[in-house]
Amino acid sequence: MSCEVSLPEAKKVAIFGGTHGNEMSGVTLVNLWLKNRAEIRRSGVEVQPFITNPRAVEKCTRYIDIDLNRAFTPENLSKREAEDHPYEIKRALEINRIFGPKGSSDAYDVIFDLHNTTSNMGCTLILESSQDHLNLQMVHYIKQAVAPMTCSVLVNEHPFLQYSTSRSVAKHPIGLEVGPQPQGVLRSNIFQSMRLILRHALDFIELFNGGMEFPPCTVDVYQVTERVDYPRDTNGNITAMVHPNLQDCDWEPLNPGDPMFLTFDGRTVEYKGGNTVYPTFINEAAYYEKQQAFVITKRGTLIARQIKVSKM
């Protein structure tokens, strides 16, 4: 049973780059658009490009004190801005003040947060809710618009594995993750792909605000279920690498018994789960310290209800 969802205009939109200071596509695009907004101008939408972690960008490092993309917790956001905090908590409070407050009616309507990954994930759109029909319609529109280029949709609603992202201050947060690209490097193909996705995303918002109705549709997604760490010794050092058969195979099925890790002394460690799963974020550089070799997902299909703008 589907019924139409009437939603207010998405008038205030932000594009975040440099949430991780060494993920270069977003840093470059946002800096480009801060100088010249022509490409991101759409009628009926105010689009604000923004460098979220300027000190990390300046040092071309992921973060200064703590990961900004984990910093938007209720606990952190209730701290007082004037007090002395780690740099990224101060930034989170500032960003929440400018683009939030998170959870309030004043918050920005949509925030796109631009990221790169060393994993072979291609173009991936990351959602934090399976019930956000505006976002579901948007990703559906983008996927169709960029075809035959593929765009995967990752949904992270996991109670423990979901994290407090910078984009989460908005009513409709969307993560754009494009890889593979090494940290600190700007690759032309990756840069152009991200630029193209944003072009279509802004087109969608303009069309939606202009009154276009988007009929019900289905969206194939990957839903985060589990994370898998590297095998480690008693000192916490990793003792194996992602197996060559799994390396670069993001989104491909991993079956019980398939090779998963290769130890430094040449032994294969197999996947011992009961079902076929779909791994992603395979061998992301930044996740070694977060105890994550890859993330396990299951495939699903979400239904996006018909949406139409309701102009007040």
Partner 1 sequence: MVTVADQEEERRSSHLIYKMEVVSLPAVSRVAICGGTHGNEMTGVFLVKELQKRKRKEEGAEAPDILPVISNPRAVQRCQRYIETDLNRCFTTATLSVPVSDGTPYEIQRAQELNVFLGPKGSVKSVDLVCDLHNTTANMGLCLISYSECDWISLHICRHLQKEMPSVPVRYIHYDVPLSEAYSLESVGKHGFAMEVGPQPHGVVRADVWGTMTEGVRLVLDWIKRFNSGVQFDDKVMEIYTLVKTIDYPRDPETQMITATIHPQLQDHDFCLLHQGDPLFLTFSGNTEYYRGEEPLYPFFVNESAYYEKGIAFLLARKKKVNIPSVRVMTRESV
Task: Out of 42, 70, 79, 187, point to the residue binding partner 1 (CB under 8 A).
Answer: 187
Applying CB under 8 A, which part among 26-34, 46-54, 127-135, 170-178 lies near partner 1?
A: 26-34
With vertex at residue 111, the alpha carbon angle to CA 105 and CA 113, rounded to the nearest 5 degrees, is 150
**Closer to partner 1 at the Cβ: 216 or 259?**
259
Question: What distance, in Å, lies between the first and last C-alpha atoms of the chain?
Answer: 27
Applying CB under 8 A, which part among 123-131, 150-158, 259-267, 304-312 lies near partner 1?
A: 259-267
Tell me whether residue 271 is annotated as binding: no
**Closer to partner 1 at the Cβ: 188 or 301?**
188
**Residues 123 and 151: beta-carbon distance below 8 Å:** yes
**Residues 133 and 172: beta-carbon distance below 8 Å:** no
The arrangement of strands across the sheet holding 46-51 comes to 46-51, 12-17, 110-116, 172-179, 122-127, 151-155, 217-228, 294-304, 278-280
**Residues 76 and 93: beta-carbon distance below 8 Å:** yes
Asked whether position 149 contacts partner 1 by CB under 8 A, the answer is no
Distance, CA of 301 to CA of 287 (rounded, Å): 28
Applying CB under 8 A, which part among 9-17, 121-129, 144-152, 236-244 lies near partner 1?
A: 236-244
- How near is the Cβ of 183 to partner 1 at its closest, in Å? 6
Asked whether position 186 contacts partner 1 by CB under 8 A, the answer is yes
Asked whether position 17 contacts partner 1 by CB under 8 A, the answer is no
Q: How many CA atoms lie within 13 A of 189 on its CB side?
A: 7
Task: Out of 4, 5, 8, 31, point to the residue binding partner 1 (CB under 8 A).
Answer: 31
The count of residues interacting with partner 1 (CB under 8 A) is 32
- How near is the Cβ of 203 to partner 1 at its closest, in Å? 19
Catalytic residue, candidates 88, 128, 177, 206: 177
Residue with tokens 């000192």: 235
List all residues 6 or more positions away from 131 whose beta carbon is below 8 Å from its beta carbon: none
Tell me whether residue 310 is annotated as binding: no
- How near is the Cβ of 148 to partner 1 at its closest, in Å? 18
Tell me whether residue 165 is annotated as binding: yes
Asked whether position 60 contacts partner 1 by CB under 8 A, the answer is yes
**83 catalytic, yes or no?**
no
Task: Out of 17, 26, 49, 180, point to the residue binding partner 1 (CB under 8 A).
Answer: 180
- How near is the Cβ of 244 to partner 1 at its closest, in Å? 5
- How near is the Cβ of 53 to partner 1 at its closest, in Å? 17
Asked whether position 120 contacts partner 1 by CB under 8 A, the answer is no
Tell me whether residue 166 is annotated as binding: yes
Instruction: List residues bridging with 11 in a β-sheet.
Output: none
Q: What single-letter DSSP state applies at residue 163?
A: -
Helices (H), the chain: 24-35, 54-59, 74-77, 87-99, 133-146, 188-209
Distance, CA of 232 to CA of 241 (rounded, Å): 10
Distance, CA of 11 to CA of 46 (rounded, Å): 6
Task: Out of 5, 8, 9, 28, point to the residue binding partner 1 (CB under 8 A).
Answer: 28
Under the rule (CB under 8 A), what is the footprint of partner 1? 28, 31-32, 60-61, 118, 180-189, 191, 237-238, 241-244, 247, 262, 264-265, 283, 285-286, 288-289
Catalytic residues: 177
